[in-house]
Each structure stands twice: as structure tokens, then as C-alpha cells.
Amino acid sequence: MSTFNSKDFLEFDAEIPEDGGSSGQKSSSCPICQQSPVIPFLSVGGRDYWRCCHCQGTFLAAEQLPTAREERDCYDLHENDGADGGYRRFLNRLLEPLLGRLQGRQEGLDYGCGPNPVLAQMVRDAEHSMAVYDPFFYCDRTPLQRQYDFITCTEVVEHFYHPAQEFALLSRLLKTGGWLAIMTCFQTDDAAFANWHYRREFTHVTFYREFTFQILAQQWGFHWEIPRRNVVLLQKIQ
């Protein structure tokens, strides 16, 4: 899977201490939609999760977020092989519906591309240009100084420590009419959350329902659609 987040990723001034934010202070507003109230949802495996009453997103308590070192150690174990047909089919779940909405040669950004930007190469093979950015592996911030016709985030947004700030950045990087393509496992059954494989991934700290993306689309002025399971396409219309 693609990798993502650490405090070094953010373009904003919000800071995450090296201990992951262990101030012990509980958030009074949702880090996804910045609305309140948020309520305790579930404690499992020594981790405390909160639920937003507005967007229905679920997130790990701030003081329990992994450190940057812990994140990097985890990401170094990932094996994303561009020659792996199964991995390419996985990425095509997002890429195929996105390409069907792009007219002519377009310029894109793979945001949180990981150590081996397979998706970016697949986009280039489809005759679009593609820049890449990742806080650990492609940390040159130059690509964050311009706007794009489309942005891809494959297996990225679940790593966001400060989602509202990250979505603000993504919106700023996207041209009006452009597409933000996200692939992440949507959270569905609360009863299954404790044993959900996606929750058990150590660096997954923020979880979204379909309804969460509907709220974000309204908040940021996007049209939204879900062309297939666990894929959401957001078109910037404002």
C-alpha cells in the first residue's frame, strides 16, 4: 500500500510532538470535519477511538498516534512491486474510473506515493503527466507549490493525523473542475470494528464512512461520487 503521514507532511503550522502528541488532552472537535461533539467510541488493544457525531468519522485518540519513527519502520515493511499484476489490479480500482473522467492530457499529483510510485507510472503510461510527493520517500515539497487537474490518494487518508488540514491542502492544490481520487476501506459495521483488519494496521488512525465523504464534499465545495467499493471521486466545483 502507499504510505503517508508524519508531522513532516503538513504544510500547516500544527505540530505533532515526537511522542505522537502525548499531551493527554482529548480533542473537543472532530479532526476530520472540525465539528463537534465527538464522543468515545471504543477502546480495544490499548487504543482509544472517538466518533464524530457530525460526519460519523472515527479516529484514534491524539495522544496515541504513532511517532514518525514508528511510522517509517512500518512503511519500510511494505512491498509495492510494479511488476505484481495483483497490485496493479488493486490500483486500477481507483485509476480506471478516474481516467474515464479526464479529458485530454492532464497534469496530476500522486499524494503520499510511497517508496515505489507504481500508480504514478500507470498514469504516465496512460499519457498524463504525474508529479509525486511523500513525506518519507519523495519529500521535495516543490510539487506542493502548484495546482493540478487531478490528485490521487491511494491508501493514504487513513494515515492522516490532521485530516481537516490535509483536505484543505488538497483542495488548494486542485484546480476548479479537477478531481481528487481517494481509495480507502470505508468503515461500515461498528460491531466488526474491533477485529477489522484495517483497524489493526498500526498506522491506520482515521476511518471514514461514505457519509463522511458526503460531509467533506459539502464542506469543501466538491461534487462526490462512489464509482466502486472503497473508492470516492471528488470534483472541485467551487
Q: What is the DSSP letter of 103?
A: -
User: What is the 8-class DSSP label of residue 138?
Assistant: B
All domains in the chain, ordered by first residue: 38-236 (3.40.50.150)
- Whether the full predicted model's pTM is greater than 0.75, yes or no, is yes
Backbone phi, then psi, for 192, in 5-degree steps?
A: -95, 0
168 burial via Cβ count (<10 Å: 0-12, 13-18, 19+)? middle
Residue 20's pLDDT is what?
A: 38
pLDDT reported for residue 238: 77
DSSP, collapsed to helix, strand or coil, labels residue 10 as coil
pLDDT for 75: 77
Instruction: Give the residue from 192, 187, 189, 188 showing the smallest Cα distance to 205.
Output: 187
> Residue 71: phi, psi to the nearest 5?
-60, -50
How far apart, in whole angstroms, are the C-alpha atoms of residue 114 and residue 134?
6
Q: Locate all alpha helices (DSSP H) within the chain, ordered by sequence.
A: 68-75, 85-99, 118-125, 163-173, 197-200, 210-220
Q: How far, in Å, CA of 208 to CA of 140, rounded?
A: 29
Per-residue pLDDT tens listing for the chain (238 residues): 333 333 333 332 233 333 333 334 355 899 999 999 999 999 999 999 999 999 999 999 999 999 988 888 887 776 666 667 889 999 999 999 999 999 999 999 999 999 999 999 999 999 999 999 999 999 999 999 999 999 999 999 999 999 999 999 999 999 999 999 999 999 999 999 999 999 999 999 999 999 999 999 999 999 999 999 999 999 999 7
